[in-house]
């Protein structure tokens, strides 16, 4: 399993769980951050056609109410609920300790080492990126299609001009600072 969107200032955290069939070759599979967008889209299609998978998300409201780690756990659990097959052991990208009913192991940089985590990374990122592109139609002033909700200069400019919208994680320090000073905390 892997997730996308933990560091974003807006939108959901999206988690994916993938079971790769033995012998499946996915040329170019890697950590989603190291794969070009067109190749990610190609791999996404191959993964959903060839693998058992589940996708879950935690909304920005859940991130604000529960905190990032707990919301991420909810997204992971929701992805597992969507997985159409039984699993023996869960491999998770990262170092965080989570609580699942099945045995599990967190692996630092697992999305660069373990093929099923790489595939989950692709599914989570492409799913989240596509959601943020959809949200850009509802909230065009923020240009979520460009930065996917991360704290880029473009996003900071939109926040200064328009303030936060419903998609923003208002518990995040840059957004809290915006509410009190009119300027988001600069992180870029």
Sorted by where each starts, the structural domains of the chain and their CATH numbers stand as 2-135 (3.30.420.10)
Q: What is the pairing mode between strands 52-58 and 13-19?
A: antiparallel
For a pLDDT cut of 90, what percent of the chain falls above it? 82
What is the tens place of the pLDDT at every residue in 115-160?
Answer: 999 999 999 999 999 999 999 999 999 999 999 999 999 999 999 8
Report the alpha-carbon distance of residue 3 to residue 29 in Å, rounded. Answer: 16
Helix/strand/coil percentages in the chain, nearest 5: 50, 15, 35
pLDDT, position 100: 87
pLDDT, position 98: 85
pLDDT, position 143: 96
Top pLDDT among 178 and 98 is at: 98
Per DSSP, helices labelled H in 51-148 are 60-66, 68-82, 115-138, 144-147
pLDDT, position 188: 43
Q: Is the model's pLDDT at 57 over the cut of 80?
A: yes
């Amino acid at each position: 399993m892997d997730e996308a969107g933990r560091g974003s200032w807006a939108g959901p955290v999206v988690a994916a769980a993938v079971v790769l069939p033995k012998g499946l070759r996915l040329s170019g599979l890697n950590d989603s951050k190291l794969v070009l967008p067109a190749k990610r889209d190609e791999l996404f299609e191959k993964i959903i056609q060839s693998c058992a998978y589940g996708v879950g998300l935690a909304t920005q409201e859940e991130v604000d109410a529960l905190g990032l780690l707990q919301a991420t756990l909810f997204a992971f659990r929701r992805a597992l609920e969507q997985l159409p097959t039984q699993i023996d052991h869960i491999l998770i990208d990262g170092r965080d300790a989570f609580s699942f009913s099945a045995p599990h192991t967190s692996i630092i940089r697992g999305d660069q080492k373990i093929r099923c985590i790489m595939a989950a990374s692709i599914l989570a990122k492409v799913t989240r990126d596509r959601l943020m592109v959809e949200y850009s139609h509802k909230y065009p002033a923020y240009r979520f299609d460009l930065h996917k909700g991360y704290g880029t200069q473009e996003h900071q400019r939109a926040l200064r001009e328009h303030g936060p919208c419903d998609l923003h994680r208002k518990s995040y320090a840059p957004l809290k600072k915006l509410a009190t000073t009119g300027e988001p905390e600069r992180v870029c």
